[in-house]
Amino acid sequence: MYQPEIVQVLPTKEYTVYLYYDDGNVRLYDVKSLIEKGGIFEQLKNLDVFINTCTIMNDTLAWDVAGNYNEWECIDICPDTLLDAPIVENIEEVEEKLFTH
């Protein structure tokens, strides 16, 4: 069964990430609850870390917290979990707000 792949990630100051998929859909994944749970995700509380290390690794949303693009040292989210995130219907409006402020 076909599973869309993430081609771009766009983290926000609100601890959410816009996920752009190769099927044309954009989903919005909220990371706040994971950060609040602590553990491995606690280091993402630092907004600079959250935004600047956000990337795609292991074919999914990840944070390269070690800074060496090592797939074993990153924090990543199961791709199936991300597909449960809501689809953004009005992405043009969202992008306009994100890129003009």
In-domain check, residue 24: yes
Q: Number of folded domains in the chain? A: 1
In-domain check, residue 67: yes
Instruction: Provide the pLDDT confidence category of residue 99 given band limits of 50, 70 and 90.
Output: confident
CATH of residue 32: 3.30.2020
DSSP 39-91: GGGGGGGSHHHHHHTEEEETTEEEE-TTSS--TTSSEE--HHHHTTSPBPS-H
In-domain check, residue 15: yes
pLDDT in tens, 5-37: 999 999 999 999 999 999 999 999 999 999 999
pTM over 0.85: yes
In-domain check, residue 63: yes
In-domain check, residue 1: no
Look up the domain containing 41 and give its range. Answer: 6-100
In-domain check, residue 47: yes
For the chain, how long is the longest CA-to-CA vector?
A: 40
